[in-house]
Amino acid sequence: MSDYVLPLIVLIIVFYGIIKKVDLYDAFIKGSKESFKMSFTIFPNLLAMLLSVNIFVNSGLLEDMVNFLLPFLKVPIEVISLMIMRPISGNATLALLNTIYTKYGVDSFYSLLGSTIQGCTDTTLYVLALYYGSVGIKNTRYALRVSLLADIVGIVSSLIICYLLFF
């Protein structure tokens, strides 16, 4: 079903362009050309973000913290790590989700919970750095506060809803 979404969008846009007599090829090239400039602006932002996040994540501080907290919590370490890492790194959480699927089974409660957490929020820090960095904004004011609070709310509601639906 979802395989049809992408081709259908392309089909509708191009077909509508033909009806409206748009110079399709020229329009496509004109729009596409902008991607060079855009990619050049986002590259330093990507590099900066990856550098900082990787140094932090790979230092093992988070893992040690989770291990320390683990006896007080009744959820597996991978799920806790997933919650903490979600706003920071999309790649790291996807790797964690893979681990959870393999370890507990793809249809287990923890996998369903992990899938919900992964799906219901975005990689906040990355999106903010990319979006504000691309237009040269230094002072992001309360953007991070709002987004991180929303992430916490998303994770907590995932927990509650998964308990209600799947447990």
Partner 1 sequence: MVSKIWGYFIVIGIVYSFIFGDVIALNETILNSTKTSLELILQIFPVIALWLGIAEIATQSGILSKLSNSLSRILHPLFPEIPKNHISLNYIASNIIANLFGLGNAATPFGLKAMSSLQELNKDKTRASRSMITFTSINTSGVTIVPTTIIALRILYKSNSPTITVISTLISTLIATVFALIIDRLIAGRYHE
Closer to partner 1 by Cβ: residue 80 or 97: 97
DSSP class per residue in 56-122:
HHHTTHHHHHHHHHGGG-SS-HHHHHHHHHTTT-HHHHHHHHHHHHHHH-TTSHHHHHHHHHHHHS-
Closer residue to partner 1 in complex, CB, 69/146: 146
| Minimum distance of partner 1 from residue 74's CB (angstroms) | 19
The binding track of 10-29 with respect to partner 1, each residue x by CB under 8 A or -, is x-xxx-xx-xx-xxx--xxx
- Give the amino acid at 152: I
99 binds partner 1 (CB under 8 A): no
Q: Which stretch binds partner 1 (CB under 8 A): 66-74, 76-84, 119-127?
A: 119-127
By CB under 8 A, is residue 69 in contact with partner 1? no
Q: Which of 69, 73, 98, 103 binds partner 1 (CB under 8 A)?
A: 98
Q: How many positions of this chain bind partner 1 (CB under 8 A)? A: 95
60 contributes a contact to partner 1 by CB under 8 A: yes
CA pair distance 129, 48, nearest whole angstrom: 9
Q: Which of 69, 70, 73, 149 binds partner 1 (CB under 8 A)?
A: 149
Cβ-in-10-Å burial (0-12, 13-18, 19+) of 149 comes to exposed
CB atoms within 10 A of CB 91: 14
